[in-house]
Structure 1
Amino acid sequence: MTSQTIEIPTALGTVRGNLRGESASFLGIPFAQPPVGELRFAAPVPFGHWEGVLDATEHGATPQRTALAEVTLIPEPTVPGPSTLNLNVFAPVDAAFGSKLPVLVWIHGGGFVAGSPASPWYDGAGFNRDGVVTVSISYRLGFDGFGWIEDAPHNRGILDWMLALQWIQDHIASFGGDPSRVTIAGQSAGGGAVLTLLAAKGAEKLFARGYSISGAAADIPLEKAEAAGRELAGKAGVEPNIAGFSSLREEQILSLQGGVGLEAGPDANDPMAPMVALVTGGLTFGPVIDGQLLTDTVENSLRNGAGADKPLVLGSTDHEFNMAMAQHEAPLAGVDPVPLLSSFGASPELIEEYRAQHAGLSTAGLLGQFITDSMFRVKTLQYAQARDEAGAPAFLYRFSWQSPTIGGACHCLDVPFFFDCLADSHVAHIAGPNPPQELADELHSEAVGLIVNGAPGWGAYTADSPLVRVYNTPSTTADNGYSEVTLLQPAATPVN
């Protein structure tokens, strides 16, 4: 389809976008000054006005510079350039003049070190069709966004999210959006961002609803973040301050950050060591409990009532990271899984119960399911339970439809169903040549239900009525749909 252009006035100046039938896209609009030079490790600074007409017909630069961009299941291209703090707006054409439509804001995933808002899957045309203005945002990644620096603000990536959301509050009306009806959504690290923003001080006024897809909050203790920052500085031979890190090229930090925190311990050369470290120790770079923006873990914050006024949908796929063990299927054939599960922190009693619960799985399959359950599914259940304890129930779901190409209901598989973009050429790789459109119709329309009405169409999860929406062909609503992961739940963290 040949694009024409459309221009609309905003308080910051006129912006030119692409007109695509009944939808218009405005790409790469800067919400902050480029994070370079003195601003590289600073809190984001609003971009302000622009001169003349801002050409927003092509994607802006992305912060993504890592090799993970080449292996992710979601096509998330890297776009070069320094002005990486930008956003994309997708709006129904008839909404460009103050229609006050609900707004969806998408925060991409990528483990807080990769990912890009420029994915064709994040095009908001499907939501525009349903009367929803859609925005995708970028943010600083890895060490630049979340690394500890002794004289720099913590959680710069969170500050980027919040400034983007403030920009939306101030300017989305020019694109037909209603700033009082903003839903934030994201997948993987983006889902973790949604949960984090529910707990972040000062973010509560910036959005009204949340939708977390496969989200697990990082909850990095400040002491761990500081140790990682000092380790990276030591590897680079610089002081752990702004001056020291500013002396390093972006490529130097990227080449070092992936190895931070992974060299300690006797099993450092074990090919499974990075996964063991991730499961047992969590992420190295991501949102930090800094005592300012974040004062507690996300789970405790939810239990204490953070974000209780905001409807929340959250869920996970049934086999998120099982695929991580697929390459080990043959080497692990016949290998006793007990010592391997022990390395992931499982007690002998838990291992016995877990093996009995998953009888028939190979050693690699058992490890993969344990990783999925530990990192995603049990956490999703705990967030829902914490909300219920605070009197703010969440709407809980599972995505169970299995990929004929990747295998299982894998990580990222539900994203094209959420955006209703099954026709995109990249979808066949993860979902096969004929993914069920009826499932996309169902999941997408129920997401629109949350965005428009504050409820997706099934009952909230509570202790008395533990309802779970199970997306499959056909979809169902089940009682206790996450019951099989309860054996992984630790004792409840005391409420402060």
Structure 2
Amino acid sequence: MVAAAVATHLLLLLASSLVSFTLAIPRIPSGAVSVSTPLGTAQGTLDVDGANRFSVRYATASRWKASTIVTQWQLPNGSGDPAALPLQCPQIRVDASTFSEDCLSMILYVPVDISAGSKVPTLVWIHGGSFDSGSATGPGLDGSKLAIATHSIVAVIQYRLGALGLLAPNGPTNLAVTDTINALKFLGKILPSFGGDASKVTLAGQSSGASMIRTLLAVPSASSLFRSAILQSDPMDYGFLSPPTQSLLQTTFNDLVNCSTTDTACHSALPISSILSAQVTLENEANALDPAAGQGEPLRPVRDGQLITTPLDSTAPFPAVNKPLLLTNVKNEGGPTVYELLFPGGPQPAALFVPVCDFSLGEDRTEIVMNSGFYPVDPNGDSRHPMEVLTTDYVWRCPTWTLARNWVSHGAPAYVGMYTLGATYPANADTPFCLASGNVCHRDDIYIVFGTTPNPTPAQTALTLEMQARYRMFLLTGSPNAPGLEPWAPVSSSGNVPAKELGSKTTSDGLYPPAACAPSFWGAAAQYDYQVFNI
């Protein structure tokens, strides 16, 4: 019974990222604005936080077909209101009136003192949500304050999610990835009109948004579209899907929707509710169909050898690189998974730790973990604590540190940070663990970066000011070191990772300890999922 319950819960791993909030950005316009672009006149409005806001459709796409960049400026969803925000892409757990398949849109935030000829950098934000939820209008993603603080243009983009972006029955993979590439190409056309320099684009994103950026780093044809990247809380342990795994998931999905590969009329006639229902069924069954799909993010980009040419991990020769990276995690990435999804009812006995590990890691890795000393289990304590530490290390923190070491050893700088202070994100507001003093859960860095924390404390305000100053310098120079702030050392060529604590200092030197993220443990003695499944 315990194993069955654990299996059921673990199928929801990371599903907290599925929670989507609709149109959280204020709609109240303060005034109309317009900009002349090569695609026509861009109409926008003065955002309530002080920057000019432009919502725009960047591409169009028929269902399960490649997207095409628009050739003229268009407001999202056929709207005639420049203040209107784009509908989100189809997804579960939201009202159907809030989404549309016509969702390839973005929102630009441009400080009022930036105009054509300014040549400022651009930060492109890619939202999280396990590749099957989220939008450009999620909580805290109003980019006005971030744009003003960094004196840059902030673009928050959307791309097709779930089955519509990653499970085309007629064969093409990675539609969501090519959507994102088209968003960057669109920006290259119009940024100079707004005062941006198309050669100074930095990608930033959280969770699966960071995974999408890692994907773009593995796409040679996208390399010229951006010059640096910020990855926040990327669940790198999963890696990309392999073609055989993707093919199995695709075949299963085709069976669920009961359309043959070539029956385009059947594809077009499917109600969106049927597509989403089949998607949910597949996501729940994916790990049982093929453990390489994983338990938390089974629908994700596939390394097809054509668009995505490298795993960008430790399973194959690492390519030469030249883009600076800023890589961050939060202290308790695994908090929502363990304390909200798996065991929300209260403390769990120590005896549960091993079966949970067995299900997630298999017996061999579980034995290594149990003998490591990194995850001690108090015989009389709550086993959720070591579960959370293990989940944070294994899914997020340690594979991030491994990527940083690989990145630096192959040609480009990388900076690693750990948020030891955050601001509770709405999806975490009902999880007592995430509300406890000192805990920083997955997504609790979003408000801090955007400067959108409701009623911030002085410490939160100070951290926001610091991070926005560091982001400004990273956009300009590829380094997060800013005047008046403590130095942030890059990862060394020897593999030392000086992970800077962002917020509260928990160590005397302000560097987060490696512990299980030392090179000899995760990725070596205990392998990541992408190594175990050779993906």
- What's the TM-score once normalised by structure 1's chain length? 0.85
Q: Distance in 1 between matches of 2:306 and 2:286?
A: 30
Q: Which residue identity is paired with 2:367?
A: E
1:482 aligns with 2:514: yes
Q: CA deviation at 1:219?
A: 0.3
1:58 aligns with 2:84: yes
Map of 1:29 onto structure 2: 56
Q: Distance in 2 between matches of 1:41 and 1:2?
A: 35
Q: Distance in 1 between matches of 2:139 and 2:316?
A: 33
Map of 2:44 onto structure 1: 17
Q: CA deviation at 1:261?
A: 5.4
Distance 1:397 1:264, change over 3 A: closer
Out of 439, 442, 446, the residue aligned to residue 470 of structure 2 is: 446
Identity of matched residues, %: 24
Distance 1:474 1:438, change over 3 A: farther
Map of 1:45 onto structure 2: 68
Distance 1:444 1:208, change over 3 A: same
Map of 2:409 onto structure 1: 389
1:411 aligns with 2:442: yes
* Deviation per residue, 1:305-334 (Å, 9 max, x gap): 35x221110121121122222252537334
Q: CA deviation at 1:128?
A: 2.4
Equivalent residue runs for 1:35-184 within 5 Å: 35=61, 39-50=62-73, 55-67=81-93, 79-130=98-149, 131-149=151-169, 151-184=170-203
Q: Which residue identity is paired with 1:3?
A: S
Q: Which residue identity is paired with 1:312?
A: L
Secondary structure at the aligned position of 1:129 is classed as: helix
Q: Distance in 2 between matches of 1:264 and 1:23?
A: 45
Q: CA deviation at 1:25?
A: 3.4
Map of 1:311 onto structure 2: 324
Q: Distance in 2 between matches of 1:264 and 1:119?
A: 27
Conservation of the 8 A alpha-carbon contact between 1:31 and 1:87:
yes
Q: Which residue identity is paired with 1:313?
A: L
* Deviation per residue, 1:384-423 (Å, 9 max, x gap): 1110221323111111226685342100001111112223
Q: Which runs of 4+ in 1 moved over 6 A?
A: 51-54, 276-279, 491-496
1:253 aligns with 2:280: no
Conservation of the 8 A alpha-carbon contact between 1:31 and 1:164:
yes
Map of 2:370 onto structure 1: 352
Q: Which residue identity is paired with 2:473?
A: G
Map of 2:485 onto structure 1: none
Q: Distance in 1 between matches of 2:222 and 2:410?
A: 19
Out of 229, 235, 251, the residue aligned to residue 230 of structure 1 is: 251
Secondary structure at the aligned position of 1:14 is classed as: strand
Secondary structure at the aligned position of 2:123 is classed as: strand
Map of 1:74 onto structure 2: none
Distance 1:436 1:475, change over 3 A: farther
Q: Distance in 2 between matches of 1:170 and 1:284?
A: 34
* Deviation per residue, 1:168-188 (Å, 9 max, x gap): 111111111111110000000
* Deviation per residue, 1:328-353 (Å, 9 max, x gap): 25373343422221221153532323
Distance 1:56 1:278, change over 3 A: farther
Q: Distance in 1 between matches of 2:440 and 2:73?
A: 45
* Deviation per residue, 1:55-87 (Å, 9 max, x gap): 4311112104211x59xxxxxx98334421011
Q: Distance in 1 between matches of 2:136 and 2:47?
A: 19
Q: Distance in 1 between matches of 2:317 and 2:413?
A: 11
Map of 2:240 onto structure 1: 219
Q: Distance in 2 between matches of 1:254 and 1:406?
A: 32
Q: CA deviation at 1:355?
A: 5.4
Q: Distance in 1 between matches of 2:418 and 2:129?
A: 21
Specify every segment of 5 or more residues in structure 2 that has no aligned partner in the other structure, as ranges.
1-27, 425-432, 482-487
Conservation of the 8 A alpha-carbon contact between 1:325 and 1:364:
yes
Q: Which residue identity is paired with 1:9?
A: S
- What's the TM-score once normalised by structure 2's chain length? 0.79
Map of 1:400 onto structure 2: 420
Q: Distance in 2 between matches of 1:315 and 1:249?
A: 40
* Deviation per residue, 1:214-234 (Å, 9 max, x gap): 013540111111111111121
Map of 1:455 onto structure 2: 479
Q: Distance in 1 between matches of 2:48 and 2:356?
A: 55
Q: Distance in 2 between matches of 1:475 and 1:383?
A: 24
Conservation of the 8 A alpha-carbon contact between 2:121 and 2:200:
yes
Conservation of the 8 A alpha-carbon contact between 1:87 and 1:135:
yes
Specify every segment of 5 or more residues in structure 1 that has no aligned partner in the other structure, as ranges.
71-76, 269-273
Q: CA deviation at 1:302?
A: 9.7
Aligned residue-pair number: 468
Conservation of the 8 A alpha-carbon contact between 1:100 and 1:173:
yes
Q: Distance in 1 between matches of 2:262 and 2:309?
A: 23
Conservation of the 8 A alpha-carbon contact between 2:56 and 2:74:
no
Conservation of the 8 A alpha-carbon contact between 2:286 and 2:298:
no
Distance 1:290 1:480, change over 3 A: same
Conservation of the 8 A alpha-carbon contact between 1:15 and 1:26:
no
Q: Which residue identity is paired with 2:175?
A: R
